[in-house]
Amino acid sequence: MSDKAHRERTLFYSVAVAVVRVIAAVIFPMRFHDRARVDALNAPYIIIGNHKSFMDPIAVALGVRYDEVHFVGKKELSKYKVFNWLFNHLHAIMIGRGETDMAAMRKCMQTLKDGHVLGIFPEGTRHQKEMMEHVESGAGLIALRSKAPVIPVYIHGKIRPFHVNHIYFGEVMDLNDLYQEGINSDTVNKLGERIRDTFYAMRDAANGKK
């Protein structure tokens, strides 16, 4: 069991989550399934999620009760002063869409080395036709290089207002075979396929429960 007493959040993050939690309870009610799986983890670890709504990072942040999540986000959003200020205070790591941003990659690795939680939406966009149709290679590189535990979070459909939204936490992914093969384009592609298969299985299981 993880030692919750040693988990830390910044005051800004804690206040922001508390405020959003109240708003979400009224407008975007969420039901979290198997949340004990993430509760039991000690940072550092990586959360990966599917992405259909601007509310998805908020759902993940609300689902992780004890740790502060440092999200990877689109650099394009930081051009707005208000968003730039907000993302800086939330320790977000901004990366250009479709780019291989080495500075951002180093920040992601340092976040994990410093014992924090990294939140990644590996699809890179909310507008893919199929879930995990394309998995960005950067997510795989970070996971394989850091060897931090990777836990998938499946958001069932697009988050809607005044509707119970379901968020499912999966089991920590077993990547030991890929670690043994080393870090190369083949293992990165294999991890992308494994992520895709994991989320399809989680979607099928969620459909079976509803």
| Domain ranges within the chain, ordered by starting residue | 29-209
Eight-class DSSP state of 32: E
Q: CA-CA distance, 135 to 137, in Å (whole number)?
A: 6
Asked if residue 152 lies in contact with residue 194, where contact means CB atoms within 8 angstroms, the answer is no
Q: What is the pLDDT of residue 127?
A: 65
Q: What mean pLDDT do residues 70-99 have?
A: 82
Q: CA-CA distance, 17 to 47, in Å (whole number)?
A: 17
Residue 210 has pLDDT above 60, yes or no: no
Q: pTM score, two decimals?
A: 0.91
**Superfamily for 29-209?**
Glycerol-3-phosphate (1)-acyltransferase (3.40.1130.10)
What crossing angle do the helices spanning 56-63 and 11-27 adopt, rounded to 10°?
A: 110
Q: What is the pLDDT of residue 156?
A: 96
Sorting pLDDT into bands at 50, 70 and 90, what band is 99?
A: low
